[in-house]
Amino acid sequence: VFSLKAQSPYVPTAENLENRAWFDQAKLGVFIHWGVYSVMGDGEWVMNNQNMGLAEYALLPKFFNPIDFDAKKWASLFKSSGAQYITFTTRHHDSFAMWDSKASDYNVVQATPFKKDIVKELVEACRAEGIKVMFYYSLLDWKRDDYLPYGRTGRGIAGRDESKADWGRYIQFMKDQLTELLTNYGRIDGIWFDGDWDKPDADWRYDEIYSLIHRLQPQCLIGNNHHLAPKEGEDFQMFERDLPGENVTGYGTDAAHVGGLPKEVCGTIAGSWGFDIKDRKQKSFKEVLSYLVKAAGYGSNLLLNVGPMPNGEIQDYQQDRLRQLGEWLKVYGESIYGTEGGFVKPTDDYALTKKGNTVYLHILNKEMKTVIIPEVKFKISSATTFDGGKKLTYHQLEKDLLVVQIPENVTDENDLVLKLTVK
Ligand code: H79
């Protein structure tokens, strides 16, 4: 007989620790924001941002008929990027379930002409490619009455009835949906919660929710985008549009709240998470690669987002970025996968990763002739180009300064990877 209360303090099982160790070295995942909001082509926050009423928004599922969706094509694209896992939006803030949910008929099978269980197709296709699957699940809800009273968002959305507020029922609804997701789709490697910040003072009953998840699937890694220090029962810590502790967004997690769990930063290839037809902030390959390399320099994974179109296609330039990463990782993967980071703080100019007695020095700013790195606490015995073909001049000075001469005629527009051997 299981206790409904979480064991306190939370003691992760052996399977869970093993999965954390896998996650910690995985370094690249693909985030997918896809839902009925994609039909609008105005990002995943369109319901809130355009103050769409419930009746208006309820028209969107009628247009969700992604005739070009091919889960196998997606999975093969993700595989070619070098990603080790995906995180899919099973349900975003609009409450729409992308699977055959019994707890709510507001789902892809019952409410769209497509009628197919997207989660099922995606899970099966990714599994066939050896890609692990995590589920994004929103805590915040812009549709259900039982979620009320209002949090910080969603007030302009017409059609909800505050007299039907019922927090206990809402929590039970989430448990029912999470149970479906963790019972009907085989092994799931993580649950990625978002939206806590809408009601930071609510009793989210994480003790019950997290213990339910770990009871159903002990290896399932729990992360929660609450922008706070990790809470009891969580297995990894995520940083939205941020590097760990940098908090450039202002609503993120500052350095004081970075914990000792495996880390993941998430960011977009486009300017938005969900498909935005007017997107004018498309990232170059260099920007995307620098994000991956800096994340690894912090010892963190990068969860890189694509926002598929309503027809089920992923935009060509987003596909290109993924394939370019994969091509790069085929050559330089040893400097990313399975490395440690966090021993020297990355900058826009450089990032360092480490495996055994090899330190990989990533030069991100190709204008530099010399790189000067402070706080280097280890002694090195050699410095070479990535292929070992050319010895580099370096000096280790007092105050832990490392100075490395950047070789001439060795150019890589995006990231020049150098190798240091640690004594
Ligand atoms: O799913 C993607 C986004 O839709 C969701 N998380 C990613 C992964 C997300 N949207 N916004 N945010 C996360 C951060 C929200 C910040 C704000 Fe606020 C909401 C700023 C103003 C309203 C938090 C709540 C800070 C003030 C109120």
Q: Which among 301, 335, 369 is the end of a domain?
A: 335
Mutate to test the pocket of ligand 1, among 42, 92, 194, 196 (most ligand atoms within 8 A of CB): 194
Same domain, residue pair 265 and 394? no
Say if ligand 1 is within 6 A of residue 44 CB. Answer: yes
Residue 99 lies in a domain: yes
- DSSP annotation of 272 reads S
Mutate to test the pocket of ligand 1, among 152, 241, 269 (most ligand atoms within 8 A of CB): 152
Same domain, residue pair 324 and 363? no
Higher pLDDT, 413 or 384: 384
Among 27-36, 200-209, 252-261, 303-312, the minimum mean pLDDT is found in: 252-261
Same domain, residue pair 252 and 390? no
197 Cα to the center of ligand 1, angstroms: 8
- Dihedral sign of CA atoms 123, 264, 142, 40 in order: negative
In angstroms, rounded to a whole number, what is the distance separating the alpha carbons of residues 166 and 147?
A: 7
In angstroms, rounded to a whole number, what is the distance separating the alpha carbons of residues 326 and 304?
A: 13
Residue 3 lies in a domain: no
Q: Within 13 Å of residue 323, how many CA atoms lie on the same side as its CB?
A: 11
Q: Whose CA is nearest to atom 22 of ligand 1?
A: 153
Residue 225 lies in a domain: yes
Helix then strand then coil, % of the chain, to nearest 5: 30, 20, 50
Interhelix angle 118-128/71-80, rounded to 10 degrees, is: 40
Residue 9 lies in a domain: no
Same domain, residue pair 390 and 299? no
219 Cα to the center of ligand 1, angstroms: 28
Supply the CATH number for residue 135's domain.
Answer: 3.20.20.80
Q: Side chain identity at 64, as an amino acid letter?
A: F
374 Cα to the center of ligand 1, angstroms: 35
258 Cα to the center of ligand 1, angstroms: 19
pLDDT tens for 148-198 read 999 999 999 999 999 999 999 999 999 999 999 999 999 999 999 999 999
Q: pLDDT band for 246, please (50, 70, 90 cuts).
A: confident
Q: Whose CA is nearest to atom 27 of ligand 1?
A: 152
Host domain of residue 61 = 14-335
Residue 5 lies in a domain: no
In angstroms, rounded to a whole number, what is the distance separating the alpha carbons of residues 117 and 102?
A: 12
Same domain, residue pair 219 and 171? yes
Q: Which among 335, 368, 390 is the end of a domain?
A: 335
Say if ligand 1 is within 6 A of residue 394 CB. Answer: no
Query: In 231-312, where does DSSP find H-type helix?
Result: 285-297
Residue 1: per-residue pLDDT: 42
Residue 97 lies in a domain: yes
Residue 340 lies in a domain: no
Cβ-contact 257, 263 below 8 angstroms: no
Q: pLDDT band for 7, please (50, 70, 90 cuts).
A: low
Say if ligand 1 is within 6 A of residue 240 CB. Answer: yes
Say if ligand 1 is within 6 A of residue 152 CB. Answer: yes
Residue 414 lies in a domain: yes
Same domain, residue pair 305 and 394? no
Same domain, residue pair 249 and 360? no
Same domain, residue pair 120 and 176? yes
389 Cα to the center of ligand 1, angstroms: 48
Q: Which among 281, 311, 335 is the end of a domain?
A: 335
Atom from ligand 1 closest to the CA of residue 251: 25
Same domain, residue pair 174 and 252? yes
Asked if the interface predicted TM-score (ipTM) of this complex is over 0.85, the answer is yes
Atom from ligand 1 closest to the CA of residue 305: 8
Same domain, residue pair 162 and 121? yes
